[in-house]
Structure 1
Amino acid sequence: MGSLWQGLLGEKGGTGGRIVPPTGFTAQLTLFSAGAMAFLAVFALALALATGRLADRWSAELAGSVTVRVSAPVAEQEQRVQAAMTVLQSTPGTGQPRLLPQDELALLLEPWFGPDMPVDALPVPALIDLPVEGGFDAEGLRLRLEAEVPGAVLDDHTEWRRPLVSAANRLRVLGVVSLILIGAASAAMITLAAKAALAANGQVIRVMRLIGARDLTIATAFVQRFTRRAAVGSAIGTAAGMIALAILPDASAAGGFLTGLGFRGWDWLMPLAIPVIAAAVGFLATRWAALKMLGAVR
């Protein structure tokens, strides 16, 4: 009898067992769900990494410089700009200040006024870009400008930097949450498929128990088969997701809209962990479902 149920489960411990349907809707469901979830997981992982890079870049770029805006009547503007430049050049923790020329001001105003707006005919304040370092005292410079250069306003980009970085960090959290939800959905689908296979083979399981098969041995056959299906499906989905990301246009070709969505350098190795994680999820979900179902099938 022992050799009989071992033959049903598969020789030498089995590789999934003859009692587990090799084809049918459970196999297709497991392969499809694992592949689809792995495909989505690649994009969720890319989103989390890209938004992390975006937050770091925004924070570094906006924190590395400040802007001084000088507003004055036309007759006095040049004099006040020179006074502001003198103050900035003598401020500790700063680099060489640079007065933005008219063509750069025109580019800044182009989204609002269009490319043909004569900027030199408008009462546009002068803008000075000032690189800063770690020991820069923004509040001290702001008070000094108020006292020595009327009409000069210091903008350290705090109001712009904080919401941008916060939004990027929240997108990164959203990507991580998406990965967790994808893993939970994968576990649920594999659990349902395993339960369906167990229910379809309920009569066979009862017969195997009568000839001496243990619940753990029967469950192992299902666990092996469904773990392999989850791994194969997720490997296909991961490969498809990586190919889809590789053929996306870069940020410059897309006008910056994609914000560099994708992997960079060694980040391309991270999606390779998705099939391993999917196999582990399939193993745990199938083992739990099998042991629970076998406890109910008597």
Structure 2
Amino acid sequence: MSDIERSGRKPPAKDGAAKQNLDGKGGEPRRAEMRVRPTGPILPPSNIQGNALMVVIAIMSFLACLTLGAVSMVRATAASWESQISREVTIQIKPQEGLDMDATLRKARDLALTFVGTKQGTIMDDAATARLLEPWLGAGLDLNELPVPRLVIITIDETNPPDFAAMRDLLRAEVPQAVLDDHRTWVDRLVSMAHTTVLIGMSILVLVFTAMILTVIFATRGALSGNRHIVEVLHFVGAESGFVATEFQKHFLKISLKGSAAGGALAALLFATASLWQSNSLATPQSDQATALFGTFTIGFGGYLGILATMIVIALLTTLTARFTVMRTIDEIDLIRSDPARSDGLPGS
């Protein structure tokens, strides 16, 4: 009898049995749990280059949203002016020696109101005419001593305007001193100004987007240069180019979302603050001058929706630009490796 048997201890298990853990239920071995180690990103979550790119995207987003809001504001102001001008036409009666001005004004008004599409006719009295001339000629004017034309304002139906050519011919025949002004010259100028403003704004947006795309290309190439050895190892051990591009795409998507959100929110806050200041400072010299130069600072729901759309477009452009840049760089790596003449000069080839 061996020493182990005399001591009453169990003999040691064999090598194969020692590695098995019995679960106590039927003697079946318990399988060891495998832990999957989480993979780290190819690019670090944040670095100096990423923070700088985020600031650049925020600035570009702010400029783009500011331009879009300004264009919307100018278009709304021009449309308001055009609507106000289109609702009225003016009949001007030139003074003449021996002319009964009051009777002539009433006759011109009645002739204009005979046309379909006219709603109301208003004769501007002496007090209203004097108020119009007060900024240039001062107060206390005697209109009987000045050869000042008198005005009749005709309100028209915008949806069904009258025949202005026929109205002009009738007034010329019945009232030779009358001149009809349908404000078409001013309307055409406003429309031209609005179209020019929109064109300038869109050109600025294109420039901002172009500068942003170029910045993202340079930033992506810089990130690839710093991590080129990692990209090459991953690619040569079997990682598809789409996988590597997706990793870069996720990295730049996070940066672009943060930057565009910051820039767009700052632009929206600026418009909201300006609109609040303008509404709380009515009838002040500062507000009047700002309104005369820029119109109202209210961009409305459509303007804020446009700012949100601009933020999304900037994020998408940044992400797609990064992806295409990475795919093109990997294609260049494959081309260099497949060309023996070019790969001989590479380190480690």
Q: Name the TM-score, length of structure 2 as normaliser.
A: 0.74
Which residue among 69, 73, 89 is the counterpart of 2:96? 73
Quote how far apart the aligned CAs of 1:107 are: 4.1
Is residue 188 of structure 1 aligned with residue 214 of structure 2? yes
Matching residue within 293, 306, 309 for 1:273: 309
Question: Structure 1 residues 108 and 164 mapped into 2: Cα distance closer, same or farther (>3 Å)?
Answer: farther
Bigger CA radius of gyration:
2
CA distance change for structure 1 residues 132 and 106 in 2, over 3 Å: closer, same or farther? same
Equivalent residue number for residue 108 of structure 2: 84
Letter in 2 for 1:80: T
Which residue, 248, 252, 261 being the options, matches 1:235? 261
2:250 aligns with one of 224, 227, 238: 224
**Deviations for 1:13-38, whole angstroms, at most 9, x for unmatched residues?**
x6xx1x31434442123201211111
Determine what percentage of the aligned residue pairs are the same residue. Answer: 26
CA contact (8 A) 1:48 1:173 kept: no
Q: Give the match for residue 320 of structure 2.
A: 284
Larger deviation: 274-283 or 75-84? 75-84
Find the counterpart in structure 2 of residue 98 from structure 1: 122
Give, in whole Å, the separation in 1 of the partners of 2:219 and 2:264: 21
1:43 to 66, 85, 89: 66
Counterpart AA for 1:105 = T
Contact 2:130–2:139 (8 Å) recurs in 1: no
For residues 159-174 of structure 1, what are the structure 2 equivalents within 5 Å? 159-174=185-200
Q: Distance in 2 between matches of 1:199 and 1:95?
A: 73
Query: Which amino acid is 1:271 matched to?
Result: I
CA contact (8 A) 1:30 1:226 kept: no
In structure 2, distance between residues paired with 1:223 and 1:273: 20
Q: Name the stretch that deviates more: 195-204 or 177-186.
A: 177-186
AA at the equivalent of 1:84: A
Structural mapping, 1:259-270, within 5 Å: 259-270=295-306
Higher relative CO (Cα under 8 Å, sequence separation at least 6) belongs to: 1
One of 200, 216, 231 as aligned partner of 2:226 = 200
Task: Return 5+ residue gaps in structure 2 as ranges.
Answer: 1-35, 338-349
The alignment partner of 1:140 has SS state of helix
Q: For residue 250 of structure 1, what is the aligned residue in structure 2?
A: 278
- Letter of the structure 1 residue corresponding to residue 118 of structure 2: T
Q: Look up the equivalent residue of 1:223 and give its one-letter code.
A: Q
- How far is the alpha carbon of 1:173 from its aligned partner? 2.8
Aligned equivalents of 1:211, 1:55: Cα separation in 2:
62
Over 3 Å counting, the alpha-carbon distance change for 1:208 and 1:39 in structure 2 is: same
Question: Contact between 1:70 and 1:126, CA under 8 Å: does it hold in 2?
Answer: yes
Amino acid at match of 2:267: G
Is it true that 1:150 corresponds to 2:176 in the alignment? yes
Distance in 2 of aligned mates of 1:117 and 1:33: 60
CA distance in 1, matches of 2:218, 2:131: 58
Per-residue deviation at 1:200? 1.7
Question: Aligned equivalents of 1:170 and 1:177: distance in 2?
Answer: 11
CA RMSD of aligned residues (A): 2.4
- The one-letter amino acid paired with 2:133 is L
Distance between the aligned counterparts of 2:72 and 2:264, measured in 1?
A: 16
Deviations 1:204-252 (A, max 9, x none): 3233334443332222211110111011110011111100111114385
Deviation at 1:74, TM superposition (A): 5.4
Is the alpha carbon distance of 1:57 and 1:31 closer, same or farther for their aligned partners in structure 2, counting shifts above 3 Å? same
- Greater displacement, 194-203 / 118-127: 118-127
Residue in 2 aligned with 1:3?
Answer: none
Question: Shift of residue 137 of structure 1?
Answer: 1.1
1:20 aligned partner, one-letter code: L
| Map of 1:118 onto structure 2 | 141
Query: C-alpha separation between the residues in 1 aligned to 2:271 and 2:107?
Result: 52
In structure 2, the CA distance between the partners of 1:94 and 1:209, relative to structure 1 (3 Å rule), is closer
Q: CA contact under 8 A between 2:95 and 2:147: conserved in structure 1?
A: no
Alpha carbons 1:223, 1:283 under 8 Å: kept: yes
The alignment covers a number of residue pairs equal to 285
Q: Structure 1: which 5+ residue stretches go unaligned?
A: 1-5
**Deviation string for 1:116-172 (max 9, x for gaps)?**
472624221001100112140111111111111121100000111101121112212
2:27 counterpart residue number: none
Q: Go from structure 1 to structure 2 and tell me whether the alpha carbon gap of 1:286 and 1:117 turns closer, same or farther (over 3 Å shift).
A: farther
| 1:59 equivalenced with 2:85 (yes/no) | no
- Provide the rounded CA distance (Å) in 2 between the counterparts of 1:198 and 1:44: 33
